Structure 1
Amino acid sequence: MDVVKALADAGPEPFWLQDPARPDAGPALAGARTCDLAVVGGGYSGLWTALLAKERDPSLDVVVLEAGRVGDAASGRNGGFCAASLTHGLENGLGRWPDDMHTLERLGWDNLRGIADTLVRYGLDADWEPTGEMSVATEEWQVPALEEEAEKAYEFGWEPILLGPDAVRAEVDSPTFLAGLWDRDAVAMVHPAKLAWGLADACRSLGVRVFENTRVTGLRPDGGGLRLAAEHGTVTARRVALGTGPYPSLLRRVRGFVVPVYDYALVTEPLSTGLREAIGWRHRQGLGDSANQFHYFRLTADDRILWGGYDAVYHYGNGLRPELERRPATYATLAKHFFSTFPQLEDVRFTNAWGGVIDTCSRFCAFFGTAYDGRLAYAAGYTGLGVGATRFGADVMLDLLHVGLAPGEETERTRLKMVRSRPVPFPPEPFRYGVIELTRREIARADRNAGRRGLWLRTLDRLGLGFDS
C-alpha cells in the first residue's frame, strides 16, 4: 500500500461539484428589491425555507440571497448521509430532552419521508437511495455500545439489525469489522450537490427569485421590515430567515454559539466488478465506525467509495479561508485508514480529496431563535447532520415567523424544548481554541484507551457538552 501513489492524482475539487449536472450560475442581485420573505443562504437551510414557504403560501414573494454558488459550501461537500435524526442520534437527544424524544423521533421520520416525497413531487434526480446506515465496531470495546444502541432504538420503534462478525462481513467485507448495527430505515444516501441544485430548481419553479454571488453585508430595520444590503443592491423584506451555517451570522448574538470545524473526504476511482465483489456491499448502505474519531463511508452511484471523517479541525479565531479546505496530512491519514479497512483494494487510487466546513454547536444539533420583534428567524449548529435536519429547521423558522400561521400561533415544533432552548456558548478566544484542542486530544486518547473517557471528557459530559469527531 503506497499512500503517496494512491493520492498522487487526487484533485482538490469536491467530487460532487464536478458532476455534469451542475447548473450555470444564476444572476447576482442588482438594484433595490422588495419581497415578503428574504432568505439568506443558498444551501439546504435556505432552499428548504424558501420552498416550504411557497408551499405554505403560494402568494408570498420570496427571495434567496447566496454569497457564492448554490450548493457550493457544506451542502455540496458532505458525505450525502440524509438521516432521520434531528438530535444527532438517540443518545444525544435522550441526554437533553428525554420527555420530547418520542415526538422528536416521529418528527424526524416525517421529515425524512417529506424529503423523499419532495424529490418525487418535483421530479428531482438526486441519486436517492434509502439503503439505511450501518454502524460497525472495529474494536472490542465498541461492541457493547452497539448492543446498547440497538436496545434504545427498539424502545423508540426502530428495528435495526444487530450483526455479529460473520454477518457484518457478509454485508461489507473488512477484516476490521467485529460487529454491526444496520438501521435500514433511518438514513438515505443522496448526491448532496444534486439535492441542492434540485431544491433551487423547485424553488424557481414556484416563482422564488434566487440570486447567486450576492454576499449580504448588512442588516438593519427599515420601516416595518428589514433591509439587507449587498455589494450591488438591497432587498427590503417583511420577514427574513438566516440559513448561513458556519459563516458569521448577520446577528452578532448568534456568533458565540457556532464554531466552524473543517472535515475532509476522499473519493476513489470507480471500482471494477471484481473489486466490488471482493468487498460485497450489495445493499449499498452507508457506513460509519464507532470510534470517537470516526470515519463515514459510502458508495457513489458509479461505484466509487467516498471515505471521510476522523479529523475535525478548528482554526484559531473561527478561521474560514479557502486554503483551509486542503489538508494533505489529513488526506494521508484517511488514505492509510482506508487501506487498513479494505486491504483488498490496495491498488485503488483516489481521484478527489477536499475539505468543507461544518457549523458546530455545543449540543451537536440545531438551535433556533428570533430577532427584530419576530421579523427575523435563524437556525444553525447542525453539526454534520444538516442534509436531513435542515428541512425540519426550515419549518421551525417558518413557524417562528408565522408563515401560514395566525399571529402568535404555536405549533408542535415550536413547543419543543429543543426549539425553545439554546446551547451553551463557546468561550471567547484564546480560551475557545484551547478548549477545542484539548478536547480533540482527549478524544484521541480515549480511542487509544479502549474508549475510556478521561476527567476532561467526563466533565464535559456532565455539563451536557460531550464531543466526538
Structure 2
Amino acid sequence: MSFWMSVLPQTPPRPPLPGDAEADVCIVGAGYTGLWTAYYLAVADPSLRIVVLEARTAGFGASGRNGGWCSALFPKSVPALDRAYGRERALALNAAMEATVDEVGRVAAAEGIDCDFAKGGTVVLARTPLQLERARHEADEAAGYGLDLRLLSAGEARERVGATGVLGGTYTPHCAAIQPAKLVRGLAEACERRGVRIHEQTPVTRIAPGRAETPHGTVRAPIVVRATEGFTPRLPGLRRAIAPVYSLMIATDPLPASFWSEAGLSDRETFTDHRHLIIYGQRTADDRLAFGGRGAPYHYGSAVEESFDLEPRVFAELRRVLGELFPALGDVPVAHAWGGPLGIARDWMASVGLDPATGLAWAGGYVGDGVGTTNLAGRTLADLIRRVDSDLVTLPWVGHRSPNWEPEPLRWLGVNASLRLMTAADTAEARTGRPSRRAALLGRLIGA
C-alpha cells in the first residue's frame, strides 16, 4: 500500500458485479482515466447508464501511488510534437495540458475533494555544468515556442529548493502538488453521487466490441472504454500494447521547521533535476518529503506482480540520492516505501481515441505523466463518446495508434538496456564532464 493510501480511512471494497448487466458506457479500470471519463460523461448527460469495472479497488494502480505531480507534462515534448504534427497543433496540446492543471483544481474544489492541491510549479535543478547546459538549452527552446518556462540562476533555484550543489535550473508554474489517493477516492465518490455504478473486485478477462467479460458476468454496452494503463498487458491480445515499467517511491515522517528553513519548497514546488534517470519529489501538506524515481527492472513478458513493487536496492538508492540533495536529513529513516507499474507506449506517445466501428475506446501510455493527462483524456473521451465536435477531439494525440512493442526477449532486453543506459549515462557524465552520446541517441530513438 502506498503512503498516500495508508493515511486514508480504510473502507470495505465496493461490491463486485452481481451478474450480467446492460449499460450505455462500460469503463474498464477505476483509476484516474476511467473515473474522469465517467465523471465528465455523467455531468454532461445524467441519463447515461455508466458502469465502471475495477479488478481491485478504485485507485489501486498508479492513480493511488504516484508522485502527486498534477502537471502540464506530456510524454512527447513540444518540439517533438512540432516535428510530427506541426507547430500549431503542438502548441494547442500544450495549452490544453496547461489548462488541465487548473481544471483538476476546479473540479476538486467544486466537488469538495480535499486533495492537498497546491499549485507551486516545478523546479528542475541543474547540479552539474552539463545539467546547467541542458537547462539553458531547454529554456531557449521553450522561449522559441513562447512557453512559460524560466531559466533560474543558482540563487533563484536555491531559494526555491535548498538542495546541495545547485548551479541553476528551470521553473514552470504549470504544476500542482497533490495527495493522489485523496483525489482518486474523492473522484470515485463524486462519480457515484451522479449515478455511476462502480464495481470493485471485478477483474475484466476480455474486452470485445459491445461487451466486457468478467468472472461475475458480462456487461454489454455499445461503448467500452479501456482505461487499464500499466495493467493492459493482462488483457488478451494486448500483451505488447504497453510496457509496464516500475516506478518506486519513499517518504519520510513529517520533518521539523528547522529542516524546511534550509530545504525551502515553501510553495510546495515539485522538484527534480536534469539527470537522465528520472527522479521526482514533493513536500507533502503535512511536511514530509515524498520522493521517487525509475531504476526498477522491467519484468519478462510484461509481467505485473505485487512482489515486483518492492525493490530494496532501488529504495536504498532513492534514500541515498535524497540525502545527497538534502544533507540536513541526516539519518532520518524511510518511513514508507512502495511502488508499482506505469504504462509506456512503444513510441513514448500517450493516446486517446474511439473506434466508431467497434465502439471500443482507450486512453493511456502516459509514461508517468498521467495525473494531469488523464483528466484531459477523460474530457476528450466524453466528447468523443457523445460525438461533440470540440477543440479537444482535434488535438494531435486523439486517434493516435502506437506500434506494438517487440516480442520477447527483445522487449525485455531493450527496456532494461535503456534503464541501465540512463544510469550509466549519469555516472559517465559525472566522471568525464562530457555529455553522454548514448543518452542522446536513446532520446532520438524514442523521439523525445
TM-score class normalised by the smaller sequence:
over 0.9
Q: Is the 8 A contact 1:80 1:190 kept in 2?
A: yes
Partner residue in 2 for 1:127: 116
- Pick closer, same or farther for the CA change 1:22–1:196 going to 2, 3 Å: farther
Displacement of 1:392 after TM fit? 1.2
Q: Quick one: distance in 2 between partners of 1:385 and 1:72?
A: 17
Instruction: Give the stretch that moved more between structures: 85-94 or 343-352.
Output: 85-94
Report what 2:158 is aligned to.
169
Q: Are positions 1:398 and 2:386 aligned together?
A: no
Distance in 2 (CA, whole Å) between partners of 1:172 and 1:136 is: 8
Which residue number in structure 2 is paired with residue 454 of structure 1?
Answer: 437
**Does residue 1:142 correspond to 2:128, yes or no?**
no
The answer (yes or no) to whether the contact 1:97–1:418 under 8 Å persists in 2 is: no
2:347 corresponding residue in structure 1: 363
Aligned to 2:328: 344
Matches within 5 A, 1:202-281: 202-221=190-209, 226-248=210-232, 252=236, 254-281=238-265
Question: Do 1:204 and 1:210's aligned partners in 2 also have CA atoms closer than 8 Å?
Answer: yes
Which range is displaced more, 74-83 or 274-283? Answer: 274-283
Per-residue Cα deviation, 1:422-457 (whole angstroms, up to 9, x for no partner): 3343210011111112222222232233363435x5
Moved more, 324-333 or 94-103: 94-103
8 Å contact from structure 2 (residues 118, 177) kept in 1: yes
With over 3 angstroms needed to count, the CA separation of the structure-2 counterparts of 1:345 and 1:202, relative to structure 1, is: same
2:312 aligned partner: 328
Task: Name the counterpart of 2:172.
Answer: 183
Question: Which residue of structure 1 aligns with residue 34 of structure 2?
Answer: 46
Q: TM-score, normalised by structure 2?
A: 0.93
Distance 1:22 1:388 in 2: 26
The offset of 1:122, in angstroms, is: 1.2
Whole-angstrom CA distance in 2 between matches of 1:14 and 1:344 = 25
Instruction: Supply the AA of the counterpart residue of 1:416.
Output: L
Amino acid at match of 1:106: A
Q: Is the 8 A contact 2:130 2:435 kept in 1?
A: no
1:423 aligns with 2:411: no
User: For 2:275 and 2:84, how far apart are their aligned partners in 1?
Assistant: 22
Matching of residue 55 in structure 1 with residue 43 in structure 2: yes
Structure 2 counterpart of 1:201, one-letter code: E
Counterpart residue number, 1:439: 418
8 Å CA contact 1:88–1:385 kept in 2: the answer is no
Q: Which residue of 17, 23, 28 maps to 2:16?
A: 28
Residues 94-113 of structure 1 aligned to structure 2 (within 5 Å)? 94-99=82-87, 100-113=89-102
Q: One-letter code of the match for 1:84?
A: A
Q: CA deviation at 1:294?
A: 2.6
Post-superposition Cα deviations, 1:174-204, rounded to whole Å, max 9, x if no partner, equal 22322121212x1011100011001101101
Listed one character per residue, the Cα deviations across residues 200-228 of structure 1 (whole Å, up to 9, x for unaligned) are 0110111101111111113345xxxx122
Going from structure 1 to structure 2, the CA distance change for 1:362 and 1:37 (only over 3 Å counts) comes to same
- 1:345 and 1:420 mapped to 2: Cα distance? 47
Offset at residue 98 of structure 1 (A): 3.6
Q: Quick one: which amino acid aligns to residue 16 of structure 1?
A: W
Q: 1:130 to 1:454 in 2, by over 3 A?
A: same
Assess, with a 3 A threshold, how the Cα gap between structure 1 residues 93 and 448 changes in structure 2: closer, same or farther.
farther
**SS at 1:261 equivalent:** strand
Contact 2:90 2:396 in 1 (8 A): no
Question: Corresponding residue for 1:201?
Answer: 189
Q: Structure 1 residues 128 and 346, CA, compared in 2 at 3 Å: closer, same or farther?
A: same
- Alignment correspondent of 2:7: 19
The alignment covers a number of residue pairs equal to 443
State how far apart, in whole Å, the 1-side matches of 2:440 and 2:127 are: 23
Partner of 2:298: 314
**CA 1:191–1:145: 2 relative to 1, 3 Å:** same
Q: What is the CA–CA distance in structure 2 between the aligned matches of 1:439 and 1:431, rounded to whole Å?
A: 12
Farther off after superposition, 37-46 or 412-421: 412-421
Residue 303 of structure 1, aligned match among 269, 287, 297: 287
- Residue in 2 that maps onto 1:8: none
- Please report the TM-score for the alignment, with normalisation by the length of structure 1: 0.89
Counterpart of 1:266 in 2: which secondary structure?
Answer: strand
**Could you say which residue in structure 1 is the equivalent of 2:267?**
283
Q: Secondary structure at the match of 2:295?
A: strand
CA distance in 1, matches of 2:9, 2:76: 31
Structure 2, unpaired ranges of 5+ = none
Match of 1:413 among 382, 388, 392: 392
The answer as to whether partners of 1:40 and 1:64 remain within 8 angstroms in 2 is: yes
Q: Distance in 2 between matches of 1:420 and 1:29?
A: 30
Is 1:73 paired with 2:61?
yes
Cα RMSD after superposing both structures: 2.1
Moved more, 48-57 or 105-114: 105-114
Q: CA deviation at 1:254?
A: 4.4
Distance in 2, Cα, partners of 1:338 & 1:104: 33
How far is the alpha carbon of 1:360 from its aligned partner? 0.9
Which one is further off, 380-389 or 93-102? 93-102
Residue 7 of structure 1 corresponds to: none
Residue 19 of structure 1 deviates from its aligned partner by 1.7
Give the Å deviation of 1:154. Answer: 3.2
In the alignment, the residues of structure 2 paired with residue 388 and residue 43 of structure 1 have an alpha-carbon distance, to the nearest angstrom, of 13
| Cα distance between partner residues in 1 of 2:212 and 2:399 | 26
The amino acid across from 1:440 in the alignment is L
Structure 1: runs of 5+ lacking an equivalent: 1-12
Pair 1:236–1:422, CA change in 2 (3 A): closer
One-letter code of the match for 1:20? Answer: L
Q: Residues 339 and 155 (structure 1 numbering): CA distance in 2 closer, same or farther, change over 3 Å?
A: same
